[in-house]
Amino acid sequence: MTDEAVDALERWLASGGEARVLSERGDELVVGLFTCDGGEQMGQVVGEASQLRPLLDPS
């Protein structure tokens, strides 16, 4: 499931969408997928924080 979440988040961000952490429990993140203007949530992905967080904070 995490590989699917990583792929979905990478595609979303590459297409210009925005993503924000909605919740975190242990090593699980729920990430909301928002329109490029940050307004409407279009979906969400759930996966391991260790794999998703680097996509959100690529510093």
What confidence score (pLDDT) does residue 39 get? 87
State the 10-residue block means of pLDDT for the chain, 59 residues long: 88 96 96 92 96 87
In angstroms, rounded to a whole number, what is the distance separating the alpha carbons of residues 4 and 17? 17
What confidence score (pLDDT) does residue 4 get? 94
CB-CB contact of 31 with 52 (8 Å):
yes
Give me the domain span that covers residue 40: 2-56
Tokens of 16: 């210009």
Say how many domains are in the chain: 1
What confidence score (pLDDT) does residue 57 get? 82
pTM for the predicted model, two decimal places = 0.89
